[in-house]
Amino acid sequence: MVKAAWLRYPEIYPKLTAVQARLKTASQLRVPAVNARVQAQINAGGKMLRSGLMFMLARFHDLDNPSLVAAGAAIETLHLATLIHDDVLDHADRRRGQTTIQQESGNQAAIYAGDYLFAVYFQLLAEAAPDVANVGRNARVMRRLLLGELDQNAVRRDHPITIHQYLRQISGKTAALFELAAWQGATLSGATAAECHAAARYGHAVGMAFQMTDDLLDYTTTAGKPGLEDLQNGIYTLPVLYALAQAPELQPVILAARTDETARTAAAAQIRQLGLPQAQDLAARYTAKAMVTLQTFPAGQPRSDLMNLTQALLTRQQ
């Protein structure tokens, strides 16, 4: 089901319900066990933030363009496909409160299910925007997304990356899809060229801030996911990198934190003190950049709602 948070936007909620229904219909598989897991993930809904932002951008012009539902379903399909592959890499047994495909049916079934959803993504995209330029942009975003995931998985877990490498990773694995969603909403609703470019810049900035905030939550709250999960898994997120820049001697403690709870507690305390403030500041700066790009669009309720949502993403607790 679509998250109740979207009910505050009565024009958007029914569109997301239609996206979810279209996604369920398009994503049917012939293997009952795998199909049941895919449908359970779809029914669980997730935040539907990417397709939601697409519709929020479309409000400036033509929210009722029927192509938007297929486009939203395409974006959510692509996102779900990457999550299924992530679950294989992470050996995850739960996603959106549901048992993962790889846990239920094995890695091979999960990989092929993810691949199948990539095909569904292009099928839906062909319905929404059959022109070559639009498909080409989607293909380039998919390429960036996969390169971002490859960059992350190529990193040695015993050696920190640079801030530049981190930003490049999240630009590909997270921000690219936000950028596509915002651009697609503007493009399919008939926005001007200037507005479409602004929408893409907005989506990229929001995506960067969203991933940074997600990384911060590992150290600020246990809502939504177990606390210190990234630290235990040896993932060098932004707060860790900023902390190490000030205290390189923290590296052995961070390495020990993967298996030792005492070391994990000690490392987390240092990361919160040394790394969190700078990471929070950078996320806020990307959010401010997103706000500035919205000034390209006309003042009114659509812009006010989008600005409020953008700010809420920075301060969310899960």
Measured distance CA(241)–CA(96) in Å, rounded: 28
Binning pLDDT at 50, 70 and 90, where does residue 310 land?
A: very high
Which of 130, 162, 182 is the C-terminal boundary of a domain? Answer: 130
CATH number for position 238: 1.10.600.10
Which of 130, 149, 164 is the C-terminal boundary of a domain? Answer: 130
pLDDT for residue 41 is more than 70: yes
pLDDT digits (tens, 9 = 90+) for 275-300: 999 999 999 999 999 999 999 999 99
pLDDT digits (tens, 9 = 90+) for 222-245: 554 557 888 888 889 999 999 999
pLDDT digits (tens, 9 = 90+) for 187-210: 999 999 999 999 999 999 999 999
- Residue 74 and residue 219 in one domain: no
Q: How many CB atoms lie within 10 A of CB 156?
A: 9
- Residue 136 and residue 100 in one domain: no
- Residue 95 and residue 221 in one domain: no
- Residue 180 and residue 312 in one domain: yes
Cβ–Cβ < 8 Å for 224, 234: no
- Residue 20 and residue 168 in one domain: no
Q: Return the closest-CA partner of residue 12 out of 46, 60, 44.
A: 60
Domain span at residue 259 reads: 131-318
- Residue 122 and residue 137 in one domain: no
pLDDT digits (tens, 9 = 90+) for 97-153: 778 888 888 888 888 888 889 889 989 988 887 676 788 888 888 888 888 777 777
pLDDT digits (tens, 9 = 90+) for 149-173: 777 776 656 678 899 999 999 999 8
pTM: 0.91
pLDDT for residue 45 is more than 70: no
Measured distance CA(116)–CA(200) in Å, rounded: 27
Which of 105, 130, 155 is the C-terminal boundary of a domain? Answer: 130
- Residue 218 and residue 315 in one domain: yes
Give the model's pLDDT for residue 239.
95
Give the model's pLDDT for residue 144.
85
- Residue 44 and residue 190 in one domain: no
Q: Return the closest-CA partner of residue 279 out of 229, 219, 203, 205.
A: 219
Question: What CA–CA distances, in Å, run from 313 to 4, 11, 53, 214, 277?
Answer: 15, 20, 12, 10, 17
- Residue 219 and residue 155 in one domain: yes
Count of domains forming the chain: 2
- Residue 124 and residue 185 in one domain: no
Measured distance CA(206)–CA(213) in Å, rounded: 10
pLDDT digits (tens, 9 = 90+) for 56-72: 999 999 999 999 999 99
- Residue 161 and residue 287 in one domain: yes
- Residue 226 and residue 293 in one domain: yes
Give the model's pLDDT for residue 68.
95
Give the model's pLDDT for residue 94.
79
